[in-house]
Structure 1
Amino acid sequence: MNQNLCVAHRGFSGRAPENTLAAIHKAMELPFVTWMEIDVQLTKDGIPVVIHDYTLDRTTNGHGKVKDMIYSHIRRLDAGSWKSRDFRGERIPALEEVLELCRGRLKLNIELKNAGNLYPGIERKVSEMLAACGMKDEVVLTSFDTGTLDRIGEADPSVQRGLIFDSRWGDPAGRVRALGCTFLSISFSRLTPGLARFLSGRGVGIMAWTVNKAKEMRRLADMHSDIMICTNRPDVWGETFLEA
């Protein structure tokens, strides 16, 4: 069996509305999906919710910024109809219910969408939630923001942390080392064989995103067996590596 793990990007987002329970359930239907990537922000009243954009406009029938809305309002929004009428009434899930659903079934890469200090306290809140549900060993918390990564380490040094990197320039391996991270989430177009070998040799996990074509999946698999392939289309992963 192929060693390059399949990571469902925001759930099975190619078939269901991203970051919803419907997308998660569809990912879970595929036995080869072992990881999932989701995005977390805080409501105005401090509830961690699973949504990618800083605003509600693209993926719900609501408008405005996530940070300005209380949880009870966000829960009333339709987060499915934009994808298909079949998903009408799908809700934005709370992180807590996603953790309960995935515990023991899927490992999670949780991106904290915290630009600067947009969501004060999100690092501690999420870390405490992971501890409460016994999922610290099943999760890596990732962010583009180095301050967020530092605060995760301060909140709970035992939680695995990962840098997200999507720059044409810079030294991702050096930044991972300087931050004390053990995971790199990187745009697949930025990943090179040398970087993959270097990181793997030092025990750093590598996730390449977002890879939806069989050709690119094969290229990454040929590059290194430790590269996790994050995709909107886990079905294509299955067709590429299990049916070949």
Structure 2
Amino acid sequence: MSSPEVLAHRGFAGLFPENTIGAATDAAAYEETTMIEIDVQPASCGTPVVFHDDRLDGTRDGRPTTDGSGLVWETSLEELAETHVLGTDETVPTLSALLEALPESVGVNVELKNPGSADLRFAEALSGTDRDDRRDHWAPFVDRVVSDCDGFGGEVLFSSFYEGALAATRDVAPDYPAAALVADSVEDGLEIARRYDCEAVHPPRNQVRGTALASESYGPIPADEPEIDLLEVAHEEGRTVNVWTVDTWLQFEQLAEAGVDGIIVDYPGLEKSVAPAE
């Protein structure tokens, strides 16, 4: 059994202040890190910044996510540059600044989180007319993101839960690999992956059949054994399967044994439970 590739979730968010330059560069220093997974959305001027939530005033484990407030896409770059993350000296970075700080030896999984609007269609396979509308909705922001990524010398993978984001990515940057993020519907996730010929699919950890994790709920995703064997189908279609998000070595080992290609993790070192292939 070979060990799956390691994607550092928000820059190993279990150890470092998520989605910051410090987290990304610290995560890149670990030998096992293949990619840094980050989230992007626009500041008020449209410049892509690296942040997960819609609002700056959320919480993580009871701690304020930042010392700021309000919607990210209504906040200026100047304010974001002074907004501290999780009580640290790290601030909300622009995408271009974070990429500039990373070595080209590590890849970046850029999750297209929000184009600057509450008008979204989460993890939903859309009809033809809706697809065109959603693609146009995302296109200006995706164009800004791709422009920033064009200057990075390492590998870049775009992913999203939103079909409109993937449609815009294929229009704006057809040469970049893309991944469909899957939520509670494996069928919809695979349909979207096929529609845009995505190189990868990214299911949650309880959507891989044949593992104990499939019988556990994960966030809003219920504890039901998936009817579709996503791993088998994706591999038959030539797509890589990277699973999100794992925070224990036991979870990592289960998914490695199932044969997934990559695992998005909150902590480094989890892959050490997997015996090297002989």
* Uncovered stretches (5+) of structure 2, i.e. residues with no partner: 59-64, 115-119, 122-133, 211-228
Q: Secondary structure at the match of 2:269?
A: helix
1:237 positional shift = 2.9
Q: 1:38-77 CA distances to partner (integer Å, 9 max, x unpaired)?
A: 0001000111111000100122100000010110111011
* Uncovered stretches (5+) of structure 1, i.e. residues with no partner: 82-87
Matching residue of 1:166: 183
Q: Does 1:77 align with 2:77?
A: no
Letter matched to residue 207 of structure 1: N
Matching residue of 1:210: 245
Q: Does 1:93 align with 2:93?
A: yes
How far apart are the structure 1 equivalents of 2:43 and 2:83?
13
Report if the CA contact (8 A) 1:80-1:91 is conserved. Answer: no
Matching residue of 1:236: 270
Q: 1:180-207 CA distances to partner (integer Å, 9 max, x unpaired)?
A: 2111111010123632122123321211
How far apart are the structure 1 equivalents of 2:255 and 2:110?
22
Aligned length in residues: 233
Worse-superposed segment, 97-106 or 117-126: 117-126
Matching residue of 2:67: 61
How far apart are the structure 2 equivalents of 1:170 and 1:60?
36
Report if the CA contact (8 A) 1:61-1:77 is conserved. Answer: yes
Q: TM-score, normalised by structure 1?
A: 0.87
Do the aligned partners of residues 89 and 119 (structure 1) sit closer, same or farther apart at CA in structure 2, a change above 3 Å counting? Answer: farther
Report if the CA contact (8 A) 2:39-2:111 is conserved. Answer: yes
1:171 positional shift = 4.2
Report if the CA contact (8 A) 2:11-2:38 is conserved. Answer: yes
Q: 1:147-171 CA distances to partner (integer Å, 9 max, x unpaired)?
A: 1111111112112111111115634
Q: TM-score, normalised by structure 2?
A: 0.77
Q: Secondary structure at the match of 2:16?
A: coil
1:175 positional shift = 2.5
1:80 positional shift = 3.4
Matching residue of 1:198: 233
Instruction: Report % sequence identity.
Output: 27
How far apart are the structure 2 equivalents of 1:235 and 1:13?
13
How far apart are the structure 1 equivalents of 2:238 and 2:39?
25
